[in-house]
C-alpha cells in the first residue's frame, strides 16, 4: 500500500477509534466501535456504538452520510458484522449504500462473523483493507477480545499495601494503609468494572460496602467467595441488592434461604472451595465481563496461582508493617523458581497521594499502552 494512502487510512482510523471511545456507557458485551465515512477527503458520516440493541456505528455513520456514502470509504475499528443479532447485518447496509472501499482495523472474533463480514464485501466487489491501527484497536477492545476467545471476564486486581507488601497487620487491621487520595483513585477504577470480588474473610474483617461513591447509575455487582456461608446477614454488601454469594453445595440451605430472602443471589458450586474459573465463566454467561478483585490475600493468591489476573493496580503506602504473621498481598502456592513468576508488562508508576500506584498488565489479554486511560 502506498505510504500516503496508509497515512490517510491511519488518520481516519484514529478518528474512528476516538469516536468508539465516546460511548457513554460500558457497551458490554458489545465491543467499542466507531466509524467514519470519507468522500473526496471530507468526512461525511460519523457514528459510534451506543450499547447493546442500538444501531451499530456503521449504521449511524451511513445514516448521517446518506447519498454521500456513494463511492466513499468507510473506516471502522472492527470488521463489519454480517449476521442478524439484535440488529440487522451491517454488511447489507454497506452494500446498499454504494460505499466503494471498507477499511477495518481488526477481525471480529465473534464466531458469527470471523472474517465472513470482509469476505461478503469483497465478493460483492468492494475494496477491503484490514490491519490499520490494529494494535490500538485490539487494546481498546481487550475485554471483548478476551471474552470471545476464552469465555471469561477481564480480571483486574487491586492491592493496597505497605512498603513491605502487607495488606493488613497480624491482627487483621487494614484501615487504612493508603491515604484518602489513593482510596478515591481505587474507587474510580472500581467504577469501570461491572463487579467487585472479595473473599469472605475480608467481609468479616472490614465489612466493606464495595460500591461507588458518589453512587453511580449502575452499581457494580458484589461477588463474595464464601464456601461455608459465613457472611453475616447484616453485611454491607448485602444491602446493595446486587450481591452474589458464591458457595459450595455441601451445606444446609437454611442460611442460603435467608440470604435469598434479603435479596442476595446464592450460587452453589461442587467441592470444598469455590472453583474460580467456573465462577468466572458463570459470571460472563450472566453478562458480567469485567471483574475487579479487591482481596484479601487468599483470594488474590488463588487468582494469581491460576494466572487469572489480566491487569493489576498496586497502591503502595510509605509505611512498614513488619512481622511474618501480618498478611502478605498474595498467599496461595506462588512460584518456586523465578522464571514462571508473572512479570508486569507496560507498567507505569505514578505518585498518588502520599504514596504510589503501579499499574501493569499481567496476561496476554491486557493489551493497552500504559498511557491509555480509556481501558480498565
Ligand X SMILES: NC(=O)c1ccc[n+]([C@@H]2O[C@H](COP(=O)([O-])OP(=O)(O)OC[C@H]3O[C@@H](n4cnc5c(N)ncnc54)[C@H](OP(=O)(O)O)[C@@H]3O)[C@@H](O)[C@H]2O)c1
- Which is closer to ligand X, CB of 93 or CB of 311? 311
Q: Residues 159, 288, 357, 376: which binds ligand X (CB under 6 A)?
A: 159
For residues 353 and 146, what is the distance between their CA atoms, to the nearest angstrom?
33
How far apart, in Å, do the first and last CA atoms of the chain sit?
34
| 330-359 residues near ligand X, rule: CB under 6 A | 331
For residues 341 and 236, what is the distance between their CA atoms, to the nearest angstrom?
36
Q: Is 108 in the site for ligand X (CB under 6 A)?
A: no
* Chain position carrying cell 460496602: 209
The HSE-up count of residue 33 (CA atoms within 13 Å, CB side) is 33
- Which is closer to ligand X, CB of 77 or CB of 302? 302
Query: Least distance in Å: CB of 227 to ligand X?
Result: 3
For residues 182 and 214, what is the distance between their CA atoms, to the nearest angstrom?
16
Q: Residues 58, 226, 310, 368: which binds ligand X (CB under 6 A)?
A: 226
Q: Is 174 in the site for ligand X (CB under 6 A)?
A: yes
Among candidate residues 58, 60, 142, 298, the one labeled active-site is 58
- Which is closer to ligand X, CB of 91 or CB of 227? 227
Q: Is 294 in the site for ligand X (CB under 6 A)?
A: yes
Q: Is 167 in the site for ligand X (CB under 6 A)?
A: yes
Residue 350 falls in the annotated catalytic set: no
| Beta carbons of 145 and 155 less than 8 angstroms apart | no
Q: Is 172 in the site for ligand X (CB under 6 A)?
A: yes
For residues 170 and 328, what is the distance between their CA atoms, to the nearest angstrom?
10
Q: Residues 79, 206, 310, 368: which binds ligand X (CB under 6 A)?
A: 206
Stretch binding ligand X (CB under 6 A), from 105-113, 260-268, 290-298, 355-363: 290-298
Q: Residues 99, 243, 280, 299: which binds ligand X (CB under 6 A)?
A: 299
DSSP string covering 62-76: HHHHGGGGTT-EEEE
The HSE-up count of residue 313 (CA atoms within 13 Å, CB side) is 21
Task: Tell me the H-state helices in the chain.
Answer: 3-20, 57-65, 90-97, 116-123, 134-140, 142-150, 180-191, 200-206, 236-239, 254-261, 276-285, 297-305
Sign of the four-CA dihedral 36, 40, 41, 43: negative
- Which is closer to ligand X, CB of 31 or CB of 328? 328
- Which is closer to ligand X, CB of 65 or CB of 198? 198
Catalytic positions, written as ranges: 58
Q: Which spans of this chain sit near ligand X (rule: CB under 6 A)?
A: 159-160, 167-168, 172, 174, 177, 198-202, 205-206, 225-228, 230, 273-274, 276, 294-299, 302, 327, 331
Amino acid at each position: 500500500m502506498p505510504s500516503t494512502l496508509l497515512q490517510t487510512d491511519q488518520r481516519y482510523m484514529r478518528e474512528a477509534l476516538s469516536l468508539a471511545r465516546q460511548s457513554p456507557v460500558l457497551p458490554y458485551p458489545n465491543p467499542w466501535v466507531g466509524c467514519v465515512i470519507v468522500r473526496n477527503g471530507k468526512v461525511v458520516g460519523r457514528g459510534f456504538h451506543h450499547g447493546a440493541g442500538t444501531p451499530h456505528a456503521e449504521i449511524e455513520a451511513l445514516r448521517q452520510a446518506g447519498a454521500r456514502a456513494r463511492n466513499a470509504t468507510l473506516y471502522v475499528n472492527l470488521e463489519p458484522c454480517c449476521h442478524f443479532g439484535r440488529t440487522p447485518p451491517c454488511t447489507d447496509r454497506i452494500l446498499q449504500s454504494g460505499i466503494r472501499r471498507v477499511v477495518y482495523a481488526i477481525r471480529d472474533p465473534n464466531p458469527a462473523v470471523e472474517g465472513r463480514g470482509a469476505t461478503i464485501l469483497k465478493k460483492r466487489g468492494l475494496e477491503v483493507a484490514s490491519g490499520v491501527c490494529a494494535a490500538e484497536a485490539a487494546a481498546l477492545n481487550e475485554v471483548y477480545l478476551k471474552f470471545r476467545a476464552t469465555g471469561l471476564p477481564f480480571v483486574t486486581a487491586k492491592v493496597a499495601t505497605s512498603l513491605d507488601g502487607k495488606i493488613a497487620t497480624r491482627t487483621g487491621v487494614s484501615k487504612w494503609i493508603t491515604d484518602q487520595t489513593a482510596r478515591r483513585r481505587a474507587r474510580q477504577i472500581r467504577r469501570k468494572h461491572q463487579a467487585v470480588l472479595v473473599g469472605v474473610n475480608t467481609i468479616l474483617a472490614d465489612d466493606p460496602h464495595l460500591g461507588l461513591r458518589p453512587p453511580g447509575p449502575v452499581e457494580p455487582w458484589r461477588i463474595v467467595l464464601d464456601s461455608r456461608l459465613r457472611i453475616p446477614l447484616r453485611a454491607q454488601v448485602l444491602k446493595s441488592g446486587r450481591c452474589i454469594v458464591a458457595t459450595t453445595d455441601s451445606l444446609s440451605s437454611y442460611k442460603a434461604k435467608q440470604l435469598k430472602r434479603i435479596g442476595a443471589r446464592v450460587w452453589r458450586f461442587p467441592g470444598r472451595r469455590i472453583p474460580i474459573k467456573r465462577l468466572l465463566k458463570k459470571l460472563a454467561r450472566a453478562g458480567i465481563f469485567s471483574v475487579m478483585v479487591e482481596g484479601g490475600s487468599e483470594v488474590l493468591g488463588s487468582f494469581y496461582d491460576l494466572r487469572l489476573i489480566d491487569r493489576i493496580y498496586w497502591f503502595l503506602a510509605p509505611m512498614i508493617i513488619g512481622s511474618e504473621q501480618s498478611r502478605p498481598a498474595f498467599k496461595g502456592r506462588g512460584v518456586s523458581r523465578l522464571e514462571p513468576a508473572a512479570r508486569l508488562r507496560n507498567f507505569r508508576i505514578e505518585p498518588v497521594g502520599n504514596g504510589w500506584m503501579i499499574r501493569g498488565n499481567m496476561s496476554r489479554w491486557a493489551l493497552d499502552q500504559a498511557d491509555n486511560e480509556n481501558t480498565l
